[in-house]
Chains A and B, each alone.
Chain A
Amino acid sequence: MRGMEMSLNQTQKLRLQRALELLETLSSGINSNSSVTVADTIPVNQEDGVLKGHGTTELEGEVVATVCGVIERVNKLVYVRTLRARYKPEVGDIIVGRVIEVAPKRWRLEINFSQDAVLMLSSMNLPDGIQRRRTAVDELNMRSIFEDDDVICAEVRDFMRDGSLQLQARSQKYGKLERGQMLTISPYLIKRRKQHFHHLDQYGIDLILGCNGFIWVGEHVETKDNMIEEEPIKPDPQNNKSKTSMSLEEEEQTYTPLETRQNICRIANAIRVLSTLGFSITIDVILDVVDLSISKGLDIHEMLGAEFSVLVAEREAERRNSSTRRKR
């Protein structure tokens, strides 16, 4: 199994095998006839009415695959869908990214894509909340908003002409993410849903499932109202380092309690286990896995062990089995 670095003993291997086989039989409609490798010919019925889509090319009148994957047909369109697909961005996607460069009037973010995304200064709310033109002073103070290696949540605004993304972070729920963990998983495990921001009350944690495969698990932050008078940002370098030179009272206020930190780690480990096993990540599945680990009384670090992975696989197989039986 890709990414499975743990050693399983014999019984664990058998159990995992059985669970995976059960899942395979339950999976809908994937037959091995439709899987192709590079340069396999794709069987098409009418040669004149077929649209050659992504992953295909024409060779001597035949449609031939250029990637390894599964053939999908939609009316006259034939295309090859790769199994471990790269992230395909769409306008309106929620993205979690990391700043790699502060450039003139924009930030460059690394998202799990072939090119870096761009967040323009004008697509970002100013700290004082006023809607106004960005001046040269604003441009010089960009580092006080986001610096290198900051984790940011934003939305895809549109595509630039060369295919890279333009982002916008104009709402209160977007912006810098602090006090938490960012996880990287394969993008195809996160399906597009109505809600990507989840607030887990019982743990006091915010969970953001970025469509690009970056997930943020962090302490819950109340979205502040920017209209309240805050300390004006002074353009001198000393204030930018205010994070490191906080007074003791400020440090006490921003201290994350141990229980919240443990919950963050537990949820992050649950996501890691699910991504190693290759299951789709949704909020229900994550909460299910966390409940399973708490009910079994496992320590947080034990969640990454072999035994728990096998348990999660069995539980998922059982869950899907019962849901398909209910459908019938």
Chain B
Amino acid sequence: MAAKAGASPATYSPSPTTYKKNRPPIFTDVDWVRPDGRDFHQCRPAFLRTGAVNAASGSAYAEFGNTKVMVSIFGPRESKKAMIYSDIGRLNCNASDNKEISSQLHKSLEGAIMLDTFPKTTVDVFALVLESGGCDLPVVISCASLALADAGIMMYDLVAAVSVVCTSSCLGKNLVIDPVSEEENYQDGGLMITCLPSRNEVTQLTITGEWSTPKIHEAMELCLDACSKLGKIMRSCLKESSSTSQE
């Protein structure tokens, strides 16, 4: 608080020392070693399970390193909010009242779900981040699409999401894929892609911060490649769960 004693507090101006991020000085020529020993272009191993929640129509649990997320799907069911008749269904996303994650989740999923297969009803998606270890939103999106497939909602394809951060001052001018929270704090810019791997279509692309054009191209290619690999892992998880319940 920069209010001086006796001065009238008409406007608030933050003091110059408070808005600089609390970074320890890191020199650009020092090589950053990732805390879990990964390569800069290596993603965390993914642990995916469907059927975590019994009460829900479909559910999934995802663990990417320290980021643990559980998503449950309810529906299609009637909703008190939808008063008007609509010939397409509604998708309602809630990520424990975090409006930003909820709205981004909604944008990335609505491109993949066939909404006209459940008219007049609503599909509710509830995401719960049990532990946040960086790269939360992409994990939530991937987990949500797995849960939707588990619930039997018709979709064009599974949604895989990966994010990349670019750093120019701290981590040695590298593109770091699947960042942990520490790396996310040091970022100069972030890029997240959610795509449909088999169809090669993108449902959402979010770019924030400072980027140069060649870096964007490189980051996008990196992400799309990682998404297709994540897509394969998600399909093998679904096949495994469906083979155990085929009795």
- What is the interface of chain A, defined by CB distance below 8 A to chain B? 1-3, 5, 20, 23-24, 27, 30, 32, 35, 37-40, 55, 57, 59, 66-70, 82-86, 114-116, 162-163, 278
CB-nearest residue of chain B to A1: B244
B235 at interface (Cβ–Cβ under 8 A)? yes
Are B247 and A66 interface neighbours, CB within 8 A? no
For residue B90, give the distance in angstroms from its CB to the closest CB of chain A: 12
How many B residues have CB within 8 A of the partner chain? 34
Additional A-B contacts beyond A2-B54, A82-B152 (20; CB < 8 A)? A3-B54, A20-B247, A27-B246, A27-B247, A35-B242, A38-B235, A39-B155, A55-B154, A59-B199, A67-B154, A68-B149, A68-B152, A70-B246, A83-B245, A83-B246, A84-B245, A114-B77, A115-B78, A116-B78, A278-B245
| Distance of A1 Cα from B247 Cα, bound (Å) | 11
Are B114 and A66 interface neighbours, CB within 8 A? yes
CB-nearest residue of chain B to A26: B247
| Distance of A23 Cα from B246 Cα, bound (Å) | 10
Q: Of the candidates B120, B157, B199, which one forms a contact with A163 in the assembled complex, judged by CB atoms under 8 Å apart?
A: B120
Q: Of the candidates B120, B198, B246, which one forms a contact with A162 in the assembled complex, judged by CB atoms under 8 Å apart?
A: B120
Q: Of the candidates A32, A66, A114, which one forms a contact with B154 in the assembled complex, judged by CB atoms under 8 Å apart?
A: A66
B47 at interface (Cβ–Cβ under 8 A)? no
Q: Of the candidates B75, B77, B120, B156, which one forms a contact with A66 in the assembled complex, judged by CB atoms under 8 Å apart?
A: B156
| 6 pairs from A and B in contact (CB 8 Å cutoff) | A2-B245, A37-B235, A38-B157, A39-B155, A114-B75, A115-B120
Q: Which 7 A-B pairs have the closest CB atoms?
A: A39-B157, A66-B154, A114-B76, A39-B198, A82-B152, A37-B238, A114-B121
Are A67 and B78 interface neighbours, CB within 8 A? no
Are A67 and B245 interface neighbours, CB within 8 A? no
CB-nearest residue of chain A to B57: A86
| Distance of A59 Cα from B198 Cα, bound (Å) | 11
| Distance of A84 Cα from B59 Cα, bound (Å) | 13
| Distance of A20 Cα from B245 Cα, bound (Å) | 11
Chain B residue contacts of A35, Cβ below 8 A: 239, 242-243, 246
For residue A260, give the distance in angstroms from its CB to the closest CB of chain B: 30
- What is the interface of chain B, defined by CB distance below 8 A to chain A? 51, 54, 57, 75-78, 85, 114, 118-121, 149-150, 152-158, 196, 198-199, 235, 238-239, 242-247
CB-nearest residue of chain A to B114: A66
Q: Of the candidates A32, A66, A70, A162, which one forms a contact with B85 in the assembled complex, judged by CB atoms under 8 Å apart?
A: A162
CB-nearest residue of chain A to B75: A114
CB-nearest residue of chain A to B234: A37
Q: Main SS of chain B's interface residues? A: loop
Are B157 and A114 interface neighbours, CB within 8 A? no
Q: Of the candidates A38, A55, A70, A278, which one forms a contact with B247 in the assembled complex, judged by CB atoms under 8 Å apart?
A: A278
Are A38 and B158 interface neighbours, CB within 8 A? yes
Are B245 and A163 interface neighbours, CB within 8 A? no
Are A37 and B114 interface neighbours, CB within 8 A? no
Are B149 and A38 interface neighbours, CB within 8 A? yes
Chain B residue contacts of A162, Cβ below 8 A: 85, 119-120
For residue B140, give the distance in angstroms from its CB to the closest CB of chain A: 18
Chain A residue contacts of B158, Cβ below 8 A: 37-39
Chain A residue contacts of B120, Cβ below 8 A: 115, 162-163
Chain B residue contacts of A1, Cβ below 8 A: 244
CB-nearest residue of chain B to A108: B78
| Distance of A38 Cα from B146 Cα, bound (Å) | 10
| Distance of A97 Cα from B48 Cα, bound (Å) | 35
Chain B residue contacts of A163, Cβ below 8 A: 119-120
Are A39 and B199 interface neighbours, CB within 8 A? yes
CB-nearest residue of chain B to A21: B247
| Distance of A33 Cα from B156 Cα, bound (Å) | 21
Chain B residue contacts of A38, Cβ below 8 A: 149, 155-158, 235, 238
Are A67 and B247 interface neighbours, CB within 8 A? no
Most chain B C-beta atoms within 10 Å of own C-beta, residue among A40, A68, A70, A84 = A68
CB-nearest residue of chain A to B155: A38
Chain B residue contacts of A69, Cβ below 8 A: 152, 242
Q: Of the candidates B54, B77, B118, B152, which one forms a contact with A67 in the assembled complex, judged by CB atoms under 8 Å apart?
A: B152
Q: Of the candidates B152, B235, B247, which one forms a contact with A85 in the assembled complex, judged by CB atoms under 8 Å apart?
A: B152
Are A32 and B243 interface neighbours, CB within 8 A? yes
For residue B73, give the distance in angstroms from its CB to the closest CB of chain A: 12
For residue A31, give the distance in angstroms from its CB to the closest CB of chain B: 10
Are B152 and A86 interface neighbours, CB within 8 A? yes
Chain A residue contacts of B156, Cβ below 8 A: 38-39, 57, 66
